[in-house]
Structure 1
Amino acid sequence: MSDMKDTMLIRSEGISKTILHGGTGDIPKLITGTKVTFHFRTQLCDDERTVIDDSRMVGTPMEIVIGNMFKLDIWETLLASMRIGEVAEFWCDTIHTGVYPLVSKSMRRIAEGKDPVEWQVHTCGMANMFAYHSLGYDDLDELMKEPKPLYFVLDLLKVQQPSEYNRESWALNDEERLKVVPVLHGQGNKLFKQGRYQEATQKYKEALICIKNVQTKEKAWDVPWLKLEKMANTLTLNYCQCLLRMEEYYEVIEHTTDIINQHPGVVKAYYLRGKAHKEVWNEAEARQDFTKVLDLDPSMKKAVKKELAVLSMRMEEKNQEDKNKYKGMF
């Protein structure tokens, strides 16, 4: 078996492969929709071979669906050269590793139980990712500033053809994804009406991931992109309505502000942001948002009047409370 240790070059430039443990059978065919399950370890090419990420430490293997625009498409190339049960080390040059920090960030957030959707909701495609100053992890920020060649040690566990597994929404192609959106949207609305806000947010988020995945392939601000953006904004605002009921006011302010910065004419965004400001006693901001709602849509007069009356009452109560609090102090 010693010849297995020899380094081979894969068809792509800037990759070399060393088999550490031979696999069995033929090399599986990876077609669009094939689900591949594998463990991975990512290491720097320094003397210590510093480990950046290791799925075994997290305890769950990685799953990707071929042809599904997984952000690190080089992994598809590497996996396509492997047999089941094979463990191989790949050296990949910088041209293949530039986006790794972004992928790593989302994988880490999943592992930490945080929602990877967050950066998909907040950013328009990859372009904005590069504008952000920090990914929230020092080692990834380093790599982002100065991309380096990396070692990927992959251990291929399982390959399932499209007919052999239940395809979840992230495993759909674009056309299927967009068909799923109104279904998820409807389910979310139904759950919202039943007062099951937490479950409704999951449906809205799933629909948002579908839209954002398709949207990253469109040219920003072109007609198809804008259509998707409109759908995404509607879902985000429904999501914010759930958050209001769940008393997550600061998150509502954050999401609605994102929408307003990009699209200053969305009435509902100002209305929901005004409501959130009202709940956290930001009087001036709330009044400003409600005034903007009236500017954009005078037919909202009745609703806004009601909100402003509640705001005045709120502020009155708070002032009274503060007075009582301080009265006892002097």
Structure 2
Amino acid sequence: MEELALQLSADGIQKKVLFPGRGNVPDYADGTKVKFHYRSSLCDGTVLDDSRTMGGKSKPMELILGKKFKLPVWELVLGTMRLGEIAEFTCDVKHTALYPLVSQSLRNISVGKDPLEGQRHCCGIAQVHSHHSHGHKDLEKLQTKPQPLVFTMELLEVLPPGSFALETWAMSDEEKLAAVPQIHEEGNALFKQGDTAEAAEKYYTAIACLKNLQMKEQPGSEPWIKLDLMITPLMLNFCQCKLMLGQYYEVLEHCSSILNKYEDNVKAYFKRGKAHAAVWNEAEARADFQKVLELDSSLAPAVSKEIQAMEKRLREKKKRIKDVTKIFSPPAAPPLQLLRAETGDEAPEETLRFKGDMSSSPSTWTPSLIH
């Protein structure tokens, strides 16, 4: 262990063992899967990321060694740890320059976003040293002024090569491309079984595989377009799941993205029209449904059904608003004859106005219309 520590020190990494773990240091051959918790901090103790709290949940990181992870120093330091060991590694800036890029991907994953969202079509070094915004102030600051970082690792599990099924993130480009049709079919099967949420996850996984490959191609090139044409039907399936799950704004976003590239995609117009109708965008919904009819007149019955459903919901909404308005409206003034009966024929005009004509006093209260 002392020899390993000396090797790390010579490479600009200082190791401090916080808990020794058990057994010997495992054989970390390429293809070994390691599961661990991590906390990334500045040298002043400011925490950047923590796998125990990221995304509002505790989820260990999984890494397969030898797969060219963008932060090689993690593979290096994990290779010195025993099972159950907790250790702190202070790493020189030469090992941490790519951390903003890695952190952005990990934060995206933790909230269910595409890990590549926000990254440009360029190499990692160019991304880190460009002025492109990560959307996180701490990462932007670290990108502008790289500095040493402290990584606190807890090694939870070590699995030798061949003892586990590869997840998509650990696949090679060839493996990802080959896996997409199978993942697509799994999504379709789950959808038919009524497991809409799980089907959406499958479609999302297939989309992420293809987008990962697409990022490595020149936008607009033949390989890029070929991948995009594979992504589109998966995205439409994903949108159908989101419609059924009531996540309408995601549908609006993704369908609009498709239509920005493929203006004649009738399915995208139809799904976007349904999403607009669901969030009370009547004019936008009608425009999308009209476009559907222009592109495919055979869909007239389906469009008519959706428009009728939208109009029914709009009528119901207007009725609810009217009913609520009635509840909170001030009562009508009683007849003059009733007031005279209560006050006597000789009641002065001022008394009549006070008791029966509330409209003569200005009111600052207005009813709240509840949808």
What TM-score comes out, normalization by structure 1 length? 0.77
Aligned to 1:18: 14
More displaced, 154-163 or 119-128? 119-128
RMSD: 3.6
Please give the per-residue CA displacement for 1:37-80, whole angstroms capped at 9, x wherever unaligned: 344332224xx243323446776542212344544344335545
- Aligned ranges for residues 74-85 of structure 1 at < 5 Å? 74-79=73-78, 82=80, 84=82
- Name which structure has the greater RCO, CA cutoff 8 Å, separation 6+: 1
> Does the 8 Å CA contact 2:292/2:299 hold for their aligned counterparts?
yes
CA pair 225-133 structure 1, distance change in 2 beyond 3 A: same
Structure 2 residue 34 is matched with structure 1 residue 36? yes
More displaced, 158-167 or 18-27? 18-27
TM-superposed CA distance for 1:161, in Å, is: 3.2
Q: Which amino acid aligns with 2:9?
A: M
- Aligned ranges for residues 42-191 of structure 1 at < 5 Å? 42-45=40-43, 48-55=44-51, 61-68=60-67, 70-79=69-78, 82=80, 84=82, 87=87, 89-93=89-93, 96-108=95-107, 114-115=111-112, 118-120=113-115, 133=133, 135=135, 137-154=136-153, 158-191=157-190
CA pair 223-245 structure 1, distance change in 2 beyond 3 A: same
Please give the per-residue CA displacement for 1:175-209, whole angstroms capped at 9, x wherever unaligned: 22222211221121122222221121122122223
SS of equivalent residue, structure 2 residue 151: strand
TM-superposed CA distance for 1:232, in Å, is: 2.0
TM-superposed CA distance for 1:267, in Å, is: 2.6
Aligned to 1:8: 9
CA pair 220-5 structure 1, distance change in 2 beyond 3 A: same
TM-superposed CA distance for 1:19, in Å, is: 3.5
More displaced, 194-203 or 98-107? 98-107
- Aligned ranges for residues 206-217 of structure 1 at < 5 Å? 206-217=205-216
Q: Which amino acid aligns with 1:92?
A: D
Aligned to 2:248: 249
Q: Which amino acid aligns with 1:34?
A: T
SS of equivalent residue, structure 1 residue 162: coil
> Does the 8 Å CA contact 2:106/2:115 hold for their aligned counterparts?
no
TM-superposed CA distance for 1:124, in Å, is: 6.9
CA pair 245-49 structure 1, distance change in 2 beyond 3 A: closer
Q: Which amino acid aligns with 2:223?
A: P
What TM-score comes out, normalization by structure 2 length? 0.70
Q: Which amino acid aligns with 2:42?
A: L
Please give the per-residue CA displacement for 1:270-298, whole angstroms capped at 9, x wherever unaligned: 21111011112110111122233334444
Structure 2: give runs of 5+ residues left out of the alignment. Answer: 330-371
Aligned to 2:290: 291
Structure 1: give runs of 5+ residues left out of the alignment. Answer: 11-15
> Does the 8 Å CA contact 1:92/1:151 hold for their aligned counterparts?
no
SS of equivalent residue, structure 2 residue 9: strand
CA pair 317-259 structure 1, distance change in 2 beyond 3 A: same
Aligned to 1:13: none
Aligned to 2:274: 275
SS of equivalent residue, structure 1 residue 143: helix
TM-superposed CA distance for 1:265, in Å, is: 3.9
